[in-house]
Amino acid sequence: MNPPHPSSAAAALLPFLLLLPHLLTAAAAPPPRPHPLNPLTPDELTLVSSTLTNSSTLTPPFTIHYVGLDDPDKPAVLSYAYSSPKTPAPPRRALVIARASRQNHRILVDLSTATVVEHVIVPNSVGFPTLTFEEQGEANNLPFGEPRFLESLRRRRLKAGEVVCGSFTVGWYGGGGGPKRRRVVRVMCYYKEGTVNVYMRPIEGLSLTVDLDEMRVIGFLDREVVPVPKAQGTDYREAAQDGPPRPKINPIGLVQPNGPSFTVDQHIISWAGWLFHLSFDARAGAIISLASIYDQQTRERRQVMYRGFISELFVPYMDLTEEWYFRTFLDAGEYGFGLCTFPLQPLRDCPENAVFMDGYIAGQDGTPVLMPNVFCVFERYAGDIMWRHTEALIPNITIREVRPEITLVVRTVSSVGNYDYIVDWEFKQSGSINVKVGLTGLLEVRGTKYTNMGQLTDEEYGILLAENTLGARHDHFVTFHLDLDIDEPPNSFVKTTFQTTRVMYPNKSPRKSYWRVVEKTAKTESEARVKLGSGQGDLLIVNPNKKTKVGNQVGYRLIPGSVTRPLLSVDDYPQIRAAFTNYNVWVTPYNKSEKWAGGLFTDESRGEDTLYTWSQRNRRIENKDIVLWYNLGIHHAPYQEDFPLMPTITDGFELRPTNFFESNPVLNVIPPEPVTWSNCSTAKAITMEWYLTSY
Amino acid sequence: MNPPHPSSAAAALLPFLLLLPHLLTAAAAPPPRPHPLNPLTPDELTLVSSTLTNSSTLTPPFTIHYVGLDDPDKPAVLSYAYSSPKTPAPPRRALVIARASRQNHRILVDLSTATVVEHVIVPNSVGFPTLTFEEQGEANNLPFGEPRFLESLRRRRLKAGEVVCGSFTVGWYGGGGGPKRRRVVRVMCYYKEGTVNVYMRPIEGLSLTVDLDEMRVIGFLDREVVPVPKAQGTDYREAAQDGPPRPKINPIGLVQPNGPSFTVDQHIISWAGWLFHLSFDARAGAIISLASIYDQQTRERRQVMYRGFISELFVPYMDLTEEWYFRTFLDAGEYGFGLCTFPLQPLRDCPENAVFMDGYIAGQDGTPVLMPNVFCVFERYAGDIMWRHTEALIPNITIREVRPEITLVVRTVSSVGNYDYIVDWEFKQSGSINVKVGLTGLLEVRGTKYTNMGQLTDEEYGILLAENTLGARHDHFVTFHLDLDIDEPPNSFVKTTFQTTRVMYPNKSPRKSYWRVVEKTAKTESEARVKLGSGQGDLLIVNPNKKTKVGNQVGYRLIPGSVTRPLLSVDDYPQIRAAFTNYNVWVTPYNKSEKWAGGLFTDESRGEDTLYTWSQRNRRIENKDIVLWYNLGIHHAPYQEDFPLMPTITDGFELRPTNFFESNPVLNVIPPEPVTWSNCSTAKAITMEWYLTSY
């Protein structure tokens, strides 16, 4: 969490805005038939903005909190993508979430007719939209016009010019259902003197409450004076490092002298039999759609995943003090996981052979904003082995066959305030999809008077990472929406158990036990829920209407990463809002409206519109078009190595073909020729070209 | 499991033997002072052999089953490695395991005096030594001299010339404590006609029992005739692939134009502050010793791990049929995990920038045998990010700092018959040690009359992977011996729990719950045992006598991989022999003799000398020199994608510094310069040079 400062936001937007005219002309001649899932172009964003202004839908002043493609009907998209001849593309519509006259507005704009086709006012009791950069920036500036705040800084001997503030969503802690409900944030501040690592220098005990609609301070609290942790050793910039330099690593690179093996056609990426659509969304970030793989054995293109994206993140902190208890963020719904996606740095965030792609969002006033280099796409060779065997059993021959593992990675990095989330969608030639989430960036630390662990009590909710610096414990739950269509819908969800079985008749075998696989197809949503670590076997999405030649159901299986279960009480307010994390795995029937696990209006939500509540209907899911939801979780108890900046922690999961292919689909992979250095001029040119296009 | 055919073994040895004279001269001028942990040189192996022949220790004929370095006393090694001035190296002794006059012999040879200093006869009731390649080869040939066997082949219309056989260890199924105990294997055969993938063509229902000491058939069983699965589609060689070729991947490489950043001095490898000793052992394969890291903050070299290696592997199959129930292999003790290490293939098994190293073993007659390219060492850049942050909160500046993740990998591949185990020890600049085990190669499949799943019953112990081909379910447990010395011994083992805590006083906080960390130091071995998935928090090895400046105990923590618990009944014979897998984590006080989790004499062992039995003494482990044991486990229920050869499945674990450093130790990492193509001629030369030295 935590937003950019307004002026920096402005600063950030400036270059993009300058670029825009050129881009608009570039975009002025769009392809005859845009793919129905393409994100809104700058033209379309402008069209949405003007449509709203021209229509009397919203009484000014209004703020636009989200503009994105409204999902076209799935059957229409499927037939557009897979039927031949192609059926016409379904109509393109934009979904707009706006705030006007203290109300939530949900608006659909038809892009072909430039008309508002739907306008719904959603009661404030449900929750509020994603915060905009601009309003966070304004809120972060308010303290500096607040005499009590400036007095508090003086009391602490802090220079106002060295203070920066951030807006913290406040969650929900009971009641508040009435129409008088206010859209507020708590504003808390940091001291940057001597460092850029402001998160390591919190000014504790001091907070303001801001009404975002009125954009004014409605509450002020100076509870206690706590020492501000010192700046020394917190600055992470290369230039700020002193002391002896570390042993240097020789240049090392991932290179492709002849260029990459994948093609990008608008938003369609094609590689090694894989075909998928990549788009950018202000709320979700990367969205992978229509992932299909060409089956060489059956010589057909086969559907795997209709859509995959990060639906929500839940980041609750385990600290009950006044300025901390409410820090139970739903990052995607409250701050916009896509909105917080910043440009990737060539040769640092992505290797030499990476190709970069841009995204667009709408500003608070509806203006299209370019987000450069939000994606990088590259082929990954990590020195790993796809498969191998050395055979020495056969007389007079020794066989050694080895295939290196080369994969395709789509990467985004979202910096939600202090935290940086590295999200990789990795496609393997074997048909697997690996999803990895890397957590790095800066911890939220709490200032304290203590300088040694000996002084601490249990109640301090953390350990000392440095003098006056407590590392706050917290969780990260990343909720993935995985709409798998294994050989097209309908599909079923099958849970297997590896069940220890006693040998009943001693004369039958000298063995006393073995394990067998017990399969159970989930008939309803409740039967599908899984808490990991409870001894489950494999978790499969199968197509019950298709079998392999020898009669196995075709499917994919979910291979989870680390086993992390939620630890908050189910009746605790944050957990009620984030009840979608009560289980690691959920399966629901496909429903166009069930997209955001934490609800469409997430800020200050009360858990009324979540994956949990949808799932309470306990619908039938057997042999239906179903969606798999996976909660990747990390309990983070910080240690000193996380100070002042965390080395990346990575977790992930895999979707792996499971009796999907008749046999190993990569047996006939041709090992790539070794890199030759003969044509480095080409290579150089290519590398430089990518490097330049990325600026 | 499963050995090479004798003639192929001979074929395999031939080139090495030819090489030997040259190597011996090369080795003839050894460094003045070999490191006490260096593996035995060819000279030393020859010396051991001649010492045994000259001494009357063993009455010929005898077979040598193991020769390796006898562990010098740990205190002597520690003081040699870390005290200054260096203390003299402790005496070098060789441990020999031999078989003569139907008895187990355990012999210590002093290498300076070329004398036998210890000779123990170990009763057969305990178990038998690792099988030699040569005797397995002989056993695999015996069927062809057995009329009943040849008659059985005729009945099945199989050509004897197309049959290859393998030796299977038989485990233990009760009784057998007496002196009359025989050292036997079951020999079973495959049909290679039309393929090199013999494991996909088992000849079921037919088996022989061979006494390895007498080297003769003592049992023959032709139980039933089962169709041999067909050869079609099983050959995995590149040349054997037909059908349309897959989309080609452009050349891609991991390159270092200026060469690698690590140095190799004999067996000491130095990289990015890491220093460790790498040696090769016929039983364990790779052994990492004396791993220490230079702490830039304290400017001292700090001990991390005294020794790490794979102590045992347990691979039980879940099939009760006569030819299968006993397949419950202890690969390291029965077949030699190091013995099964085959040469790595440059540019396939390891990337362009890899450096290769050799190993030596002793043949059955004591002759030194070169194992070329058993190791590759390379710097790994997978396009991953070590740490990063984009900062947008501060007015008028946007900060983006990113460091690519570059690690050092030590790789071996052990092909224990059908399975290939890829073992990576990966060292990170952050101080982490990542260990990864990749499983690939060939499944053990069972021939069956069935051609469709519809025909199967539960009792078939598997699913059809192809017509007449059942994929047998099985487990892999890989037992790691991890002798961590965090800032030198003594250390303690601390288990933490993330404990949900209710807020007792509603007025205290609007929250109802949070989680806190509850620490427990294990006082005894029984308190240290862990079954994963039972909700544990972090697992730490700490130095209770050292604290950071702010008072945290310095330590490392074990971050496990997938959660896999043993499923066999604890009273089942295979599980009694492998009771060391009853828990995922064990901690024992250091004991020189407690090295092999399955016992020194593993073949036909009865579980009397295992990690489990040692640990029953329930010794005190608090503030002692302790050893961490980790069982990495995989339940393998095969699917059709595993046929006829498995794509690599990977699991692993991490040892991560935990309040070991005062702060993030990689904050001052200098990002490597991008690969420039200006000096490709150099690069080319280097690459070619490595390529050539590897042959």
Q: Which chain A residue shows the shortest CA-CA distance from B419?
A: A389
Among chain A residues, CA nearest to B270:
A247
Out of B385, B395, B668, the one facing A241 most closely (by C-beta) is B668
Question: What residues in B contact A654, CB-CB < 8 Å?
Answer: none
**Chain A residue numbers touching B394 (CB-CB < 8 A):** 5, 8, 164, 192, 196, 198
Nearest to B246 among A246, A648, A668 (CB): A668
DSSP annotation of B193: T
Asked if residues A415 and B389 have their Cβ atoms less than 8 Å apart, the reply is yes
Structure tokens at A229: 């942790």
Model pLDDT for residues A415-433, shown as the tens digit of each residue = 999 999 999 999 999 999 9
What chain A holds in terms of domains, given with CATH numbers, is 42-122 (3.10.450.40), 263-689 (2.70.98.20)
> pLDDT value at position B402?
97
Give B676's pLDDT tier (boundaries 50, 70, 90): low
Nearest-Cα distance to chain B for A518, in Å, is 9
For residue B415, the surrounding DSSP H or E stretch is: strand B399-416
| Active site annotation includes B331 | yes
Residues of B in contact with A661 (CB under 8 A): 640-641
Instruction: Look up tokens 């499991």; give the residue.
Output: B1
Give B633's contacts in chain A (Cβ within 8 Å): none
Mean pLDDT of A250-275: 94
Picking from B133, B353, B380, B390 by the largest number of A CB atoms within 10 A of its own CB, the best residue to mutate is B390
What is the model's pLDDT at position A565? Answer: 87
> Across chain B, what does the average pLDDT equal?
91
Predicted confidence (pLDDT) per residue in A442-482, tens digit: 999 999 999 999 999 766 799 999 999 999 999 999 999 99
Whether B392 and A4 lie within 8 Å, measured CB to CB: yes
User: What pLDDT is attached to residue B673?
Assistant: 84
Q: What percentage of chain A has pLDDT greater than the value 70?
A: 92
Q: Is the previous residue joined to A560 through a cis bond, with omega within 30 degrees of 0?
A: no
State chain A's mean pLDDT as an integer.
Answer: 91
Share of chain B above pLDDT 70, in %: 92
Band of pLDDT at residue B682, cut at 50, 70 and 90: very low
Residue A414 C-alpha, separation from nearest chain B C-alpha, in angstroms: 9
Beta-carbon contacts of B277 under 8 Å, excluding residues fewer than 6 positions away, are B35, B37, B38, B267, B268, B269, B288, B289, B290
The reported pLDDT for the residue numbered A676 is: 64
Which two three-digit tokens encode residue B511? 């929250």
Query: A550 and B466: CB-CB below 8 Å?
Result: yes
pLDDT of residue A234 exceeding 70 = yes
- Do the Cβ atoms of B7 and A395 come within 8 Å? yes
Q: Given pLDDT bands bounded at 50, 70 and 90, which one contains residue A695?
A: very low
Q: Which of B173, B461, B552 faces A463 most closely, judged by CB atoms?
A: B552
* Cβ-Cβ contacts under 8 Å, B422 against chain A: 385, 388
Chain A positions in Cβ-Cβ contact with residue B672 (cut-off 8 Å): 248-252
CB atoms within 10 A of CB A29: 7
Residue B479 has pLDDT above 70, yes or no: yes
Q: Check residue B363 and give its pLDDT.
A: 96
HSE-up of A71 (CA within 13 Å, CB side)? 15
| Closest CA of chain B from A526, distance in Å | 22
pLDDT at A536: 83
Torsion, Cα of B316, B317, B318, B323 (10° steps): -130
Contacts of A417 in chain B (CB under 8 A): 393
Q: Which of B295, B319, B331, B487 is catalytic?
A: B331
Tokens of B377: 């060492």
* Assembly ipTM: 0.93
What pLDDT does residue B368 have? 96
From A376, which residue of chain B is nearest by alpha-carbon distance?
A: B383
The alpha carbon of residue B298 is apart from the nearest alpha carbon of chain A, in Å, by 11
**Residue A12 CB neighbours (<10 A):** 18
- For residue A20, pLDDT beyond 70: no
pLDDT band of A330, cuts 50, 70, 90: very high
Nearest to B647 among A343, A430, A515 (CB): A430
pLDDT in the model for residue B32: 56
How many Cβ contacts (< 8 angstroms) between chains A and B?
590
Q: Which of A235, A281, A319, A331 is catalytic?
A: A331
Rounded to two decimals, the pTM is 0.94
**Does the distance separating the beta carbons of A675 and B252 come in below 8 Å?**
yes
Residue A8's pLDDT is what? 42
With residue B383 as reference, give the H or E element that holds it. Answer: strand B368-391
Integer angstrom CA distances of residue A253 from A120, B257, B284, B404: 53, 9, 33, 10
Closest partner residue to B388 (CB to CB) among A241, A261, A413 is: A413
Q: Residue A341 in 3-state DSSP?
A: strand
Q: How far is CA A164 from CA A4, A188, A470, B38, in A?
A: 10, 9, 20, 58
Instruction: Mark yes or no for CB contact A516/B318 under 8 Å.
Output: yes
Please give the full DSSP string across B43-91, using - where no structure is assigned: HHHHHHHHHHHHSSSSPSSEEEEEEEEPPPPHHHHHHHHHSSSPPPPPP
Cα separations (Å) of B276 from B111, B266, B279, B426?
Answer: 24, 11, 10, 12
Query: Is the pLDDT score of A686 beyond 50?
Result: no
Residue B274 predicted with pLDDT over 70: yes
Nearest residue in chain B measured CA to CA from A162? B394
Give the closest-approach CA distance of A188 to chain B in angstroms: 12
Decide if B473 and A517 are in contact by the 8 Å CB cutoff: yes
Beta bridge partners of B605: none
Tally Cβ neighbours within 10 Å of residue A25: 9
pLDDT by residue (tens digit) across B626-657? 999 999 999 999 999 999 999 999 999 999 99
Mean local confidence (pLDDT), A606-612: 97
Task: Tell me how far apart the alpha carbons of residues A402 and A382 are, in angstroms, rounded to a whole number.
Answer: 15
Residue B620 has pLDDT above 60, yes or no: yes
Is the predicted pLDDT of residue B511 greater than 80, yes or no? yes
| Closest C-alpha among B310, B315, B311, B312 to residue B329 | B315
pLDDT-based confidence at residue B19 (cuts at 50, 70, 90): very low
d(CA B603, CA B135): 14
Whether A625 is catalytic is: no
CB contact under 8 A, B548 and A640: yes
Secondary structure percentages of chain B, helix, strand, coil, to 5:
20, 40, 40
Asked whether the predicted pLDDT for residue B197 surpasses 80, the reply is yes
Looking at CA atoms only, how far is residue B253 from chain A in angstroms? 5
Contact B273 A353 (CB under 8 A): no
Which residues of chain B are within 8 Å of residue A198 when distances are taken between CB atoms? Answer: 391, 393-394
User: Mean pLDDT across the stretch A574-592?
Assistant: 98
Q: Give Cβ neighbours of residue B350 (< 8 Å, ≥ 6 apart).
A: A383, B344, B356, B376, B378, B411
Q: What is the mean pLDDT of residues B375-391?
A: 97
- Which one of A251, A380, A430 has the shortest CB-CB distance to B673? A251
- Chain A residue with CA closest to B509: the answer is A320
pLDDT in tens, A495-536: 999 999 999 877 789 999 999 999 999 999 999 999 998 778
pLDDT higher than 50, residue B30: no
* Alpha-carbon gap, residue B472 to B465, rounded angstroms: 10
* Among candidates B299, B390, B454 on the partner chain, residue whose Cβ is nearest the Cβ of A342: B390
Q: Is the pLDDT of residue A63 over 50?
A: yes
The predicted pLDDT at position B161 comes to 97
pLDDT tier at B686, thresholds 50, 70, 90: very low
Please tell me the least confidently modeled range out of A10-19, B160-169, B186-195.
Answer: A10-19
Say whether pLDDT at B683 is over 90: no
Query: Residue range B382-387: average pLDDT?
Result: 98
